[in-house]
Every structure is written in structure tokens, then in C-alpha cells.
Amino acid sequence: MRYEPIKDKLSMIVGENASKRRMLYSILGIIFLREWHVKRGLRRLFRQKGIKDVLDAGSGFGQYSYYIARKSRSRIVGVDINQVEVDKCNAFAKRMNLGNLSFGSADLEKLDFDDKFDLIVSVDVMEHIKDDIAVFKNFYRALRNGGKVLISTPSNFGGSDVHDEEEHSFIEEHFREGYSAEEITAKMKSANLRVERIQYTYGKIGGWYWNLAIKVPVKMLDKNFSLIVLLPFYYLISLPFALLFMLVDYLFPPKKGSGLLVIAEKL
């Protein structure tokens, strides 16, 4: 199935309304296990001093940029290939009086920054990109010495809902099903980025959450988007179980899982 049309419809509903966008961010922060892991990774990084400039590479709805802008004094630039979403995020940042937050349109394979950022965040992006090594090299060039990059992406251990060679990605827009820890480490090393922490997410119990809280609703919306009116009733029943599964995955990181959280440093 295609995920982007669903995102586009959600974006149309939210528009540039600040209250609706904040509500969207809150909902995503609750029901997406990925956000739990990414935000914990960000909190760990920001305990270190010296993060003045941040790039959100593939900012999408802008929820991670907004989170960092509210939680720190850093300057954040969010870039995305979707100009419509970039414009909406800029309008939202202006309405929220966030002078340290801005957005721009960019293709990560052609990213053109030099020694500008202390941290690059890239969530659910690398699986969509063909020339990932070029992007890693662009990240290297964009980072200052000692700068860090945080990446969240599917693993090849059930990532994108692929469990054997006969299956294909649940999300059609994915260029690759996922990475092994060894593959992404080697590719980042080829770009002079040293992996200092790598963690699997979405283990067996996290997979239960994924099917219950994300896959079923997304397939329902893909079939008929007007069924969105039923989602509050669906989550009223399913969310308590999903939250329990999420908590287990969050507190007890699995040895293998369908997601990867990677933190690397510019050598």
C-alpha cells in the first residue's frame, strides 16, 4: 500500500492551523513507538553540551523539529522534499513564535551544507532513498567536527513488515526493506561516520503493537479514508493494549527487532 497519500490527506485536514498541528503532534507522540525511542535518544544527546545547530533531514510533518525547538535553545532547520509540507511547517513555526525553527526544501542526495550542524536527525527517511551512501557523505560534510547523527530506520529483521524473500514492503514507497546493523555501520563508516550506539527496536512485542495500533488502522484508511471517523472508537479499545506492548519494547530493548536506532559521530 501507499502511505504518502494518507499522510497528504492528514496534512490537508490539519492545514496551517496551529492547534490542529499541535494535536497531530501529540497524537503521533502517543501512538508511534518510534517517537518514544527517538525522543529518548535525543534527550541523551542533549545532555551533552554544545548542540547549537540541528538539521532535521526529512522533516515531514515537522514533529521532531518542533520537539527540539521547544526543549532546547538550539537553532533547528528542517528540510524535506515536499515543498507543500515545508510551507505549512514554516507557517506553523511563525504562528508559534519559534524564532529558532525554520524549514526549507531539499533533496538529501543533493544536500549542500558545509560544517554547519552539531546534530543531524533523520527519522523514517533512509529506507526511501536510493543512494544512501551519498546521503551519509552529505551528512558528514554538513556536520561540524565531533557532530552527531541520529537515524531511525527499519531493519532487515522484519522491517517494513518483510519477514522472508517472498514478501514485499508494507509501504510501497520504501526503496529498501531495511538494514542490518552491520550494513548500516559499514555504509556510515565509508562516509567517515563512526557508529557509537546502535539499538534494535520493535521486537516481538513491539511487533504486536505495530499490527494492532498502526498496520490495521493504516490499511483501513488506505481502503476508505472516510473510515477515519471510526478511529477514535478503534483506539478506545486497542490503545491500552498497544501502550502496554510499547512500554515493554521501550523499557526492554530487544536483541533483534524490525527497527534500528543509530547514533554516529563525524570522525
Could you tell me if residue 29 is inside a domain? Answer: yes
How much is the pLDDT for 52? Answer: 97
Residue 171 lies in a domain: yes
> Range of 117's domain?
4-203+254-266
CATH number of the domain encompassing residue 67 = 3.40.50.150
What's the pLDDT score for residue 1? 54
DSSP secondary structure string, 1-33?
A: --SHHHHHHHHHHHTT-HHHHHHHHHHHHHH-H
Task: Please give the pLDDT value at position 36.
Answer: 98
Residue 83 makes CB contacts below 8 A (sequence gap 6+) with 105
Q: What are phi and psi of 144, to 5 degrees?
A: -80, 165
Question: Are 142 and 55 spatial neighbours (Cβ–Cβ below 8 Å)?
Answer: yes
CB 154 within 8 A of CB 178: yes
Q: What pLDDT score does 171 carry?
A: 56
For residue 48, tell me if it sits in a domain. Answer: yes
Ordered mean pLDDT values, 10 residues apiece, the chain (267 residues): 74 90 96 97 93 97 97 96 95 96 97 97 94 97 97 83 49 76 97 97 96 92 90 96 98 95 96
Q: For residue 159, what pLDDT is reported?
A: 57
Domain total for the chain?
1
- Asked whether residue 105 is assigned to any structural domain, the reply reads yes
Residue 118 lies in a domain: yes
The pLDDT value given to residue 212: 96
